């Protein structure tokens, strides 16, 4: 049985493309080109991640790919897949460099300010707004801090710490 914890959400099947069983997948990512060569994906069917082999992938507009899934050969087959979520194993993610990270990796990290004083722990990420935000649990309350390369001094993955240069008063908002 595959655990969802070992996977990350990649996007969803938005519509059928052809009568030969091709579908359009919306990729929820800043780097759709990473996925132009995928050979396998996992579709969430009735809360079970089901593996499917991919026979072809073609870029299609921004953040969309046109995919032929092995064994999905008719319009009827594709109907059942519309709006289904797509997942990939976390261990298939391209490795990030030292100071970059995937949002799922940093939940639980401790945020320190420029003086190495503990601000709080990251309990989530709000990526629904134009400016993505760390959701941080400080002593008194939950705080939102913009995720911005200019504010991040160092990411220490080994010790799960992100050191940030926080503007005065940002924690009082």
**Pair 107, 5: CB distance under 8 Å:** no
Q: Assign domain 103-172 one CATH number from 3.40.50.720, 2.30.30.240, 3.90.1010.10, 3.40.50.1950.
A: 2.30.30.240
pLDDT digits (tens, 9 = 90+) for 27-47: 988 788 888 888 999 999 988
CATH 2.40.30.60 for domain 4-92, yes or no, is yes
Residues of the chain with CATH 2.40.30.60: 4-92
Place of tokens 């969430």: 44
pLDDT digits (tens, 9 = 90+) for 57-90: 999 888 899 999 999 988 888 999 999 999 998 8
Compute the average pLDDT of residues 15-28.
90
Q: Which two three-digit tokens encode residue 153?
A: 């001094």
Q: 74: helix, coil or strand?
A: coil
Residues of the chain with CATH 2.30.30.240: 103-172
**Pair 25, 86: CB distance under 8 Å:** yes
Q: Which two three-digit tokens encode residue 45?
A: 């069917």
pLDDT digits (tens, 9 = 90+) for 119-169: 999 998 887 777 888 899 987 788 888 888 889 999 998 999 999 998 887
Please, which contacts does 123-131 make with residues 24 or more away whose CB atoms are closer than 8 Å? Answer: 127/103
Radius of gyration of the chain (CA): 19
Angle CA 20–25–29, to nearest 5: 160
């Amino acid at each position: 049985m595959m655990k969802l914890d070992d996977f990350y959400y990649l996007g969803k099947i938005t519509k059928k493309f052809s009568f030969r069983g091709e579908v359009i997948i919306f990729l929820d990512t800043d780097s759709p080109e990473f996925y132009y060569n995928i050979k396998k994906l996992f579709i969430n069917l009735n809360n079970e991640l089901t593996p499917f082999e991919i026979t072809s992938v073609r870029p299609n507009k921004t953040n969309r790919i046109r995919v032929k899934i092995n064994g999905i050969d008719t319009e009827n087959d594709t109907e059942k897949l519309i709006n289904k979520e797509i997942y990939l194993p976390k261990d298939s993610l391209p490795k990030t460099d030292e100071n970059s990270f995937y949002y799922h990796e940093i939940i639980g990290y401790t945020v320190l300010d420029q003086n190495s004083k503990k601000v709080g722990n990251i309990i989530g990420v709000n990526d629904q707004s134009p400016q993505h935000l760390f959701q941080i649990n400080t002593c008194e309350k939950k705080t939102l801090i913009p995720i911005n390369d200019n504010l991040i001094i160092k990411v220490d993955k080994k010790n799960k710490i992100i050191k940030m240069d926080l503007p005065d008063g940002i924690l009082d908002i």
